[in-house]
Structure 1
């Protein structure tokens, strides 16, 4: 079968012939119809994270398609079922083997191009709000809000009754968030409120600025560092928020399975409660270009690649 494999050079990826997946007993094989890509995929392929890039490795977590081989242990969907899945790699290929506890069925009305945006961004958004606790009536600040996670967490928070302020790079990138009912800022220091909860994903100076606007006793959930700039804090600067709680949040730590949370996200998307923003849909042969455009913020929201 064909797959996009890492090159460990400036090309990032190349289209190659590889062997078909050999699933374990608790895995099903999905024929991939669409997958989405994230800025983190680019950073991993470019070696930004400091981990070795292995030539021939097939990246890819967010996939939608159809089951062509059911799991040998009897778990998971049957052959022919349309599904969305959070793969542990290998998703940028014509077929991928995925553990059945990371696969959920799709209703007919939800296109693969929308479903493919849900795994990483959706699981992160859903679990972020769980970590934040009860948000109804709370003032909530979301930084880096114009990306895939930001859009979903803003929608989910507003649906849960939060009063949301979203920080976006430009008013244009934040327009859809305003349409949902969020206040949109391009500069945190323009905020006139203090916030009960901060969801922070940028790092660097943005992290410090967000904490300066935290209400006393507030909660910060730190879930990313998109700027790739480390955080520097002044202890004396933060007395206005003291005492506060800081959570370092990894999206993969949860009391629920990916399949369970994906089922909830699918339900919300099918019901029109969340609306993943798809900024670009392209053929999967254009993945390298799309990744570059995504990391340089030439795509708003999610980028989805389709397989003929």
Structure 2
């Protein structure tokens, strides 16, 4: 039997440990002994809202203990990072090799575990803008895991990047990540106009913020909607959107994006960028996975920026 984390309405933060049978891999899956995983606000929210027992978890890093029977993917003993739709918070997982990338020895399991959801989301959202050299990009949620990765990747593309922060202290984190300008205070989002119009907007806030940003798109500009941390509804000025023409509002869901992307190759790319110090995961919290309830609560309440990583002994 192995230990795994499940949702439980009677447990703190709705999360509890449970012993289950080890996973049985399909021919295209490898068995991985998980060493670390990172937390994302989306999965925490889903777990907190769950009324039935489920096994949450998306990001993980560990060691292959049984390679895929198909003969593809990382071999036994390989250090890997991967992505699952659920169940990654477990001592062992069965992972499709298409979602699994081998990582070099210089990359720690903690660093690797930050890359799947946050890193791939940032990478794929930026790709919606095409060639970014010389373009203007606006990023909300800049101090979160996705935001900090997006700023670093965008800065390397040669784009002019504007970010957001709630305080001057947090604004400094965004500047360190490569932002050219930082708008402080989400209520002042209209002041972003002074640096626009924008060829690409990456928004994870939704609500009034999304509505205020759409008119700031340049002709042929794209707004990638990643989430709705402030509100799941937005009142859009359709006259402005339609009469300006050529602007795109793109709904982004990583699970759907992953079906059309070379996830293993892109995870390898992100890992290489970390090794080369061109991408720096900001890990604010590292703890044992026995502390899942406390860390999950703190992440949900935005008590820290960047990523939280939990280690499995």
Could you say whether these structures have the same fold, taking a TM-score greater than 0.5 normalized by the shorter chain as the test? yes
Counterpart selection for 1:100 from 97, 103, 126: 97
Aligned to 1:80: 77
More helix by share: 2
User: What is the distance in 1 between the residues matched to 2:247 and 2:210?
Assistant: 14
Deviations 1:157-177 (A, max 9, x none): 110111000012222223222
Which deviates more from structure 2 when the two are superposed, residues 90-99 or residues 246-255? 246-255
Shift of 1:212: 3.4
Task: State how 1:150-161 maps to structure 2 within 5 Å.
Answer: 150-161=147-158
What's the Cα RMSD here?
Answer: 1.7
Deviations 1:24-80 (A, max 9, x none): 111111111100011011111122xxxx5431x221110011111111111111111
Aligned to 1:263: 268
Aligned to 1:184: 182
- Alignment gaps of 5+ in structure 1: none
Give the TM-score normalised by structure 2: 0.92
- Partner of 1:286, secondary structure, is helix
User: What is the distance in 2 between the residues matched to 1:144 and 1:234?
Assistant: 23
* C-alpha contact (below 8 Å) 1:140/1:198 kept by paired residues: yes
Which deviates more from structure 2 when the two are superposed, residues 87-96 or residues 108-117? 87-96
User: What is the distance in 2 between the residues matched to 1:130 and 1:34?
Assistant: 28
Deviations 1:236-259 (A, max 9, x none): 455795442221122232532321
Shift of 1:10: 5.7
- Number of residue pairs the alignment of both structures matches: 303
Give the TM-score normalised by structure 1: 0.93
Shift of 1:101: 0.8
User: What is the distance in 2 between the residues matched to 1:210 and 1:293?
Assistant: 29
* C-alpha contact (below 8 Å) 1:132/1:221 kept by paired residues: no
User: What is the distance in 2 between the residues matched to 1:174 and 1:80?
Assistant: 41
Deviations 1:126-177 (A, max 9, x none): 1111112111101110011111011111111110111000012222223222
1:283 and 2:288 aligned: yes
Deviations 1:246-296 (A, max 9, x none): 211222325323211111111111111111111100110111111111111
1:205 and 2:208 aligned: yes
* C-alpha contact (below 8 Å) 1:132/1:197 kept by paired residues: yes
User: What is the distance in 2 between the residues matched to 1:273 and 1:296?
Assistant: 30
* C-alpha contact (below 8 Å) 2:128/2:222 kept by paired residues: no
